[in-house]
Structure 1
Amino acid sequence: MRIKEFYIADARESPGTVYRVQDGREHIYYRRPRGNIYSIAFSQDGTLHFVDANDTKIFQVIDSRERVIHTHHTYVRDIAFDENDTLYFSEATGAGGDGSIYWMQRGNPALFAEIQLDDVGGYWAGDFAFDTQSALYISTGNRTPASIYKRNRGWEEIHKEERESIKGFSFLACDLLCFTNWRSQVYFLDFASGTKSPAYSNPSRTWLSDVAFEDPIVEEETLYEGTKEYRCDWALWREDGTLFDRWDYTFPDIDEDNEDIRSLIRSIGVPTGMTNVDRVIWERMRTVWAWLKDHILSEDDPNYDAACDYHSSFDRWPSIGELASIFRTYGGFCWGERCTCMCRAQMFATFLYRVGIPRDRIAIAGGRYDETSEHIYVVLRLGCHWYYLDPTSNRSSLGETPENVVGVTDPVVDYVHPHNLTTLPRSVLRKPMLVR
């Protein structure tokens, strides 16, 4: 795996500089007039924020000029954003006393978490981050040995380094992060496998204090095409050269409500209140899968051609209201040779969302065949793992527990390395997703 672009700060350098690392080369992204930079973070609109751990201010960079957005009563050690774009910052004294994390509420700080040193090995320098599900993690910082803790009722130690520090860190997925070692290296750390691997090194850097991503482009080896980039919600163009709104094209009016839609959802037969419980999400997905299986029109059904003609009559994919109209009129859905893999994935993902599975748990992915260019399927997140749901194989049955790949078992599809991802409207999945 390789990250084509990320950002680093070296706390020893003065004036402080944020470097953009592209394809392994450093480029100056922002240099201060004076003072150091310890911690960096990007808001969702791409605005750089930073702090000097020996200062009380939080800075924002607009048009290459820094401005203070908050002044704290003591030193600010680190900053981070969660998936809702809320800004957090920390105060800490290493071994000198307990620390705190604050979050900004309408421009004012409020206490978010207290870190008692007895719970985290007796030392915390203020370093923290949120994963892609907004779970809170801290690292012990500029000391060796070093640990990473996750807040889960109490603080759970989930990784330990005996010979290196774990200073600034940032997540690519909920079980994959990059961290700096307070020297000259940046590492990948994969919680799922427990492995650490090099991501970047520069011997001229001596106090690498933080790493951050604005919109990371991640490359990974695929089964059939060598190294490929992960892409998320790429631009979509009409034939006349104008730009489509991707979600108006793929998931138009997905929150629409009318009696036809309510009737369709009642037909599926599950409660529709939103849920984040993995077990409930899995059961609802299985119910939708079975319901869809029972309502696929066979190609010899007298309504088949009419349903397919209506389904394909739009210059975009059908809305939930139009799918409900198809269901009311024809009693089922177009499938078979007249319904592409994208057609099936779009329907399935739409139905999953409308039975109460959160929008950041669902996406449409495109992966490669070994012989043809692309295959489209649905991905569903349970915990830190993504499961591959291929409605092209809807006539098969699902197990009672999750499997790595659900649906097509033919090894020609590289499910694990999708080269693109289409999210639902207003999903928090703004960064490329590692489907692993």
Structure 2
Amino acid sequence: NLLAGQQALIGAVRGDLEYTAPAAADGAPGKHYTLRPFAEQAVLIVRPRGWHLDEKHVLVDGQPIAGGLFDAALFAFHNARALMRRDRGPYFYLPKLQSMEEAALWETALAHIEGMLGLPHGQIKVTVLIETLPAVFEMDEILHALRGRIVGLNCGRWDYIFSYLKTFRRHADKVLPERGQVTMTQPFLKAYSELLIQTCHSRGAHAMGGMAAQIPINHDPAANEQAMARVRADKLREVSAGHDGTWVAHPGLIPVARAIFDEHMPGPNQHHVLRRDVHVTRDDLVAPCAGTITRAGFDNSVEVCVRYMAAWLDGNGCVPIHNLMEDAATAEISRSQIWQWLHAGNQHLDDGTAIDGALLDATLRALPARLGDTAALPGGDRIAQAIELLGTLSHADELAEFLTLPAYRQID
């Protein structure tokens, strides 16, 4: 999949990427897709893997190469010169950083790539995701470490929640309610996003908002309007706070988000919004939010984990579930919450039911019947494998750092 993605990126840069969909059931030819002219294309920003992921199929001195180095170097090798001829460059979206030292490591690697390919320093640009709890304390330092090429920081809200859960996994006083109640209006997330705006604008960098996970619901106009209303409210909150841009999980939401930003941000950015009113302390960033854990919320966490892991094991890393686009970050929230609810003190559902291994096992046993015919689900034939993996990870004495690490060992 990763190599097919690299081939698609090469085609995108060359301008000859195209695709013809399979023929319809009635025999009608499938739709043919080609790129718009270069001047009308969106700017290509490539997301390499994080430092925690290896590429086990490429060994250097007998050891797997870091997945992020493989991804960035391969894309730059094939595309950097063609992009430079068009006054662009390899633009990367760097995930999962936990410290300025990791930013400095990226700087060393990217400068080396520029030197090897004969690119001027700074031709490679980056945006950095602030999606871990440690990184939010080092945003100034991360900007400084990458100062010759960084254009902004981005709120990676879902992975940030996951990082919070992972950091405080054994702290009974830091247990969060079910995921649906952990929104960006909660004080600790509001503090994180506003501190990011203040930090970026004080340094002349863009402060990018977070992802709207909703997807269009074509078969239900009323439900679709409710989903779009949530997207509009989310983007209005971001642009009003001072963000310079945002992103969405589905291209169908781009007009919705763009309309809000165009209305409330007439200029190219909001660097003039310095947010001097923001005074965020350490305790603000780590204070948990109040809420509940319902039976439906617990069941949904289990279902999202299992369905996502089944799809991931089958080669699909982005899966629509209940009208939300689930990715590894949202699945990680669910997985780490399940583990924390089982291991961090005496946790109960809002109806008084104890959250323990017996409840999890019963929920896992009941899931196949609840899902019904799984043949149409992404990775449907991997459901049993995913159930077993979630059970193992949840009952383990230690919270696994990332679910994709043990899952990666089960695929080839």
> Which category describes the TM-score, using the shorter chain as reference length?
under 0.3
Structure that is richer in strand per residue: 1
Please identify which structure carries the higher helix content.
2
**TM-score, normalization by structure 1:** 0.22
- TM-score normalized with structure 2 length: 0.23
Higher Rg of the two aligned structures: 1
